[in-house]
Amino acid sequence: MQTFHITSPDEALRPIIQDKIDNLNKPKGSLGRLETLAMQICLVQQTLTPSLEHPCHLLLGGDHGIEHEGVSVSPREVTWQQMVNFTKGGGGVNMFCRQHGFDLRIVDVGVDYDLSQVAGIIDRKIAPGTRNFLYEPAMTQDEFDRTIHVGVDLVNECHAEGCRILCIGEMGIANTSPSSIWMSLFCHIPLDECIGAGAGLNSAGISHKRDVLRQALEHFLEQQPPKNSQLSPLNSQLTTDIIRYFGGFEMVAAIGAMLRAAEQKMLILVDGFIMTACALAACRLYPEAQAYMIFGHCGDESGHRRMLDALGAEPLLSLGMRLGEGTGALCAFPLVDSAVRMMNEMNNFDHANITKYF
C-alpha cells in the first residue's frame, strides 16, 4: 500500500485563533459549535482567515460480491441505474451539490456494468464488482493498491484546481455489509450490534444478513495466525488485510481519497454510515487523518452513533438520513460555511465600538 505522510495541524496558532474568536462582538462561547468548528478549520488551514474555495464532491460507485447472498433489499442493477441517473442531475446528491456549489464528479470504480460510454461518468473501474467475501477476499492486494491510487489521483485533480474542502459519497448496493464488519473489527463491538436494515430490510432480512456476515467473519478469522486471533491490537498490515478482505472498490477509493486529502491538508466532509466506516478505517491506518475530518451527520443506520462515539466524533447534524451519496455531509456544509464567515465577516469589539463586558 502507498505510504502517506500525514501530520497533525500545527497547534502553535491555537491561542491566536482563540483570541480572535473570543474577541468577536458576541458573548464568549455564544456561537457554540461554530466556534470549535472554526478553530478546527483555522488550524487545518493555518490561518485566521480560512476559506472554502472550489468545494468538490466525489461520488464513487462500486458493486459487491456479497450482494449475491441476499443481504440487501435492493438488487445490484440499482447501482448502475443510479449512476446513470446522477449524470442526468436527478439524484439527491445532484440537488445538494447544486444548492451548495460543489463540483460533482461521478466515478465508476467497480460497478458491474459497462458505463464507459456514459457521458458524465469518470471511468476508473478496477473490476466489475468485488468478489464474494463469504468465500474469499473481496479484492486482491494488487486491486487494493490500484484502488487506493484511484482515490489519490482524484484528490490530486481536485487539489490542482484549488479545492480546499472535499466531500465524498458512495453508490454501491450491499455496502452496509462490509461497513458493519469493519465497525465490528475496528471498534471491538459484537457483529450483531453493528448490523442494521441497510436500504430497508425487514426483520427476517436482517436476521439473514446477520447469519451471512457471521459466517464471512468466521471464515476470515479462521485464516488468521494464532497471534491475530483476537485481532487486538490491530497492526497496520492486519488493518489493511481487513479493509481488503471485506471492502468495496468505492469504499477503498474513498479511503485513499481521505488519506491523500489529509496529506494535502484539505478539509474532509464525512457522510453517513458507510463513509464513517471508511473514515474509521483510514484513521486506523493513519490516526492523524482525523484532525482533517468534519463529521457531517449521524444517520439512521443501526450502529452509526456507536461508530462515531468510537472515533470520539461529534456530528454536526442528526436528521435521520440514510440515503448515502454524501447527502448528509452536503447538508452540513452551510454550518461549515457559517463558521468560516464568522471568522471573516464578524466585527470585533474594538472596531464595533462596543464595550467588552467579559
Phi and psi angles of residue 313, each rounded to the nearest 5 degrees, phi first: -100, 135
| 325 catalytic per annotation | yes
Q: In what order do the strands lie in the sheet with 267-270?
A: 121-123, 103-110, 56-62, 165-171, 267-270, 293-295
Q: Answer positive or negative: Cα dihedral of 214, 217, 222, 226.
A: negative
Please pick, among 35, 69, 301, 325, the residue that the annotation labels catalytic.
325
Q: How many C-alpha atoms does 284 have within 13 Å on its Cβ side?
A: 28
Q: CB atoms < 10 A from the CB of 241, how many? A: 19
Cα 160 to Cα 46: distance, rounded to the nearest angstrom: 19
Residue corresponding to grid cell 478496477: 126
Q: Which three cell numbers stand for residue 113?
A: 456494468
The gap from C-alpha 249 to its chain's centroid, in whole angstroms, comes to 14
Examine residue 50 and say whether the peptide bond preceding it is cis (omega within 30 degrees of 0): no
Cα 151 to Cα 4: distance, rounded to the nearest angstrom: 13
Q: Which three cell numbers stand for residue 173?
A: 448496493
In the chain, count H helices and then E strands.
13, 6
Phi and psi angles of residue 60, each rounded to the nearest 5 degrees, phi first: -105, 130
Active-site amino acid positions: 325
